[in-house]
Chains A and B, each alone.
Chain A
Amino acid sequence: DAMVIQNPRYQVTQFGKPVTLSCSQTLNHNVMYWYQQKSSQAPKLLFHYYDKDFNNEADTPDNFQSRRPNTSFCFLDIRSPGLGDAAMYLCATSREDRSPDTQYFGPGTRLTVL
């Protein structure tokens, strides 16, 4: 089945130690998104890629970076995680971003910062 895959499902890191979360998709979608979801809150968009074009949300901290080496993969890098970065990180895809389109979500990576 075509899907969005995230690894790992659970990640523990130390305060200030860089961490990378990974997302892959077999849907061949043009657009990939990263969302942050803190406990009991709605998902919040961090950034998205349309093909290789990177689009950062205005309020996304500089501590968060992303890479998309090819259509199938996208990475979220947190350069110096703080305690406030502990959250569920959700990857999503859609075919297009210039027209309304369904977004499909992966299972998420739950990040713990010690």
Chain B
Amino acid sequence: GIQVEQSPPDLILQEGANSTLRCNFSDSVNNLQWFHQNPWGQLINLFYIPSGTKQNGRLSATTVATERYSLLYISSSQTTDSGVYFCAVHSGGSNYKLTFGKGTLLTVNP
């Protein structure tokens, strides 16, 4: 099956810093989603982005499908950005099944 790798596994920032999280995938994808899992466990949709670039406030994402990677940018980080960021993909063979990466644990210190 498709492999999804996220980097870095852990990231510690000071409030106000910028960061880039990366997601590599091993095969072509029909769908790619970025999620933020807050400290209470809820998975919150950030972006649905199989290709191209999207922005939502301080967050933006870019997927280069031909090169099989996606990037999530967080600018001017805040303590509330802390949590785990997951990348998840649908691959062509299984439209319903999201394959998750292992996540990036982000800690933003005040």
B25 within 8 A of A: no
Complex partner residue of B41 from A45, A57, A88, CB under 8 angstroms: A88
A71 within 8 A of B: no
Q: Give the number of chain A interface residues (Cβ < 8 Å).
A: 28
Q: Which residues of A contact B100 (CB under 8 A)?
A: 42-43
B96-A102 in contact (CB<8A): no
Q: How far is the CA of A103 from the CA of B33 in the complex (A)?
A: 9
Q: Which residues of A contact B97 (CB under 8 A)?
A: 45, 57
Question: Could you tell me the dominant secondary structure of chain B's interface residues?
Answer: strand
Question: Which A residues lie at the B interface, using CB under 8 A?
Answer: 31, 33, 37, 41-43, 45, 48, 50, 55, 57, 88, 90, 92, 94, 97-108, 110
Q: Which residues of A contact B48 (CB under 8 A)?
A: 102
**Closest partner residue, chain A, to B86 (CB atom):** A42
